[in-house]
Copies of this chain bind each other. A is one copy, B any other.
Amino acid sequence: MESVNIKKLAQLLNLSIATVSKALRDSYDISQETKDKVLALAKELNYQPNPHASFLRKQNSKTIAVIIPEIANNYFTLAINGIESVAQEKGYHVIIYLSHEDFHREVAFTKLLHTGRVDGVLISVSSTTTDYTHLHQLQDKGLPIVFFDRVCEHFNTVKVTTDDYQSAYLAASHLIEQGCKRIAHLAISQSLSIGSKRAKGYLQALQDNGITPAASLLIECTNDDEQDVKLIRDLLEQQQPDGIFAAIERYAIAGYELCDLLGLNIPGDVKIISFSNLQTASLLNPSLSTITQPAFEMGREAASMLLKKLEKKNFQLPDESIVIQSKLIARKSTMK
């Protein structure tokens, strides 16, 4: 790779390397004339500063890491869109790491970030993460971290979430309003912030409406499709719920498939509502009632905070949650 570097520009212009460097950053002790010459040549040769060399001096890489559990997931792709929109605007590069819901991979990734590869980290933790020392170690090294969606509550930084408790409460309440009595919750790992909040919202809604929650109706699903199918099938067959509130889209999809298989009518036999960012929710058979998360905005907000920290020397990431509301959209799957 024979690239154009400052040295070459300097040679061609009969200037010193230092002068060229300063001209490129528009330093005020370089004459306009020289600047013009330098800029013109730089443009002509498509000069790009070497980011690695810059890093060594400036200690910044203009790169951020995004660590997420998976990517074939509408929530996360929309969040990435939000993140990328901010990154592109500010000239940052985005490295994507997929933990595949595996704590050990997540730890391995963070280890790779200990030395300058990125300037900051956006993370939504894996469902098997219960220990956050790998992230604390990163933070101790001075790397800013911002959480989104699946956050660590007791971490001194910004955490961008949606109103999981409230939305779950509304989802369960909606099922009750539509006449459901035996409402099941397909929960995601209770060690996740979103898992416990959504479950709590569900439980509270039942209680507030005089329904005693049954342990047999609160199913903690997994990351394994096959196992989830078994769990949900058992639920449908043995517990005969008349309402299902799915904590994530994947569980709702499995629910649809199983109802199909078992000959259960939605919403006649069982009504379903789910946290979901599915574009085709309204085209499903029947259309799926959803709690739609502000995925793009969450990504955007998380990235904005991180980049603000990176760009403004006096700005510290506050220890606070930024909550952006979800929307409940009732469709046919919860119709009376």
Q: A72-B77, A95-B94, A284-B285 are in contact. Are A50 and B115 (CB under 8 A)?
A: yes
Q: A280-B284, A283-B256 are in contact. Are A51 and B117 (CB under 8 A)?
A: yes
Q: Which of A61, A94, A280 has the most CB of B within 10 A?
A: A280
A51 touches B116 (CB 8 A): yes
B284 touches A114 (CB 8 A): no
> Is A112 at the interface (CB under 8 A from chain B)?
yes
Which among B1, B71, B74, B256 is the interface contact of A81 at CB below 8 angstroms?
B71
Q: A77-B71, A278-B280 are in contact. Are A1 and B116 (CB under 8 A)?
A: yes
Q: State how many copies of this chain the complex holds.
A: 2
User: Which residues on B sit within 8 Å (CB–CB) of A48?
Assistant: 111-112, 114-115
Per-position contact with B for A221-246: 1 when CB-CB < 8 Å, else 0? Answer: 00000000000000000000000000
List, sorted by A's number, 29 A–B pairs whose CB atoms are closer than 8 Å: A46-B137, A48-B114, A50-B56, A50-B116, A51-B52, A51-B115, A51-B117, A52-B52, A52-B55, A52-B116, A72-B74, A72-B77, A72-B78, A72-B279, A77-B77, A93-B112, A93-B117, A94-B95, A94-B96, A253-B280, A253-B283, A256-B283, A257-B282, A260-B283, A280-B284, A283-B285, A284-B285, A285-B285, A285-B286
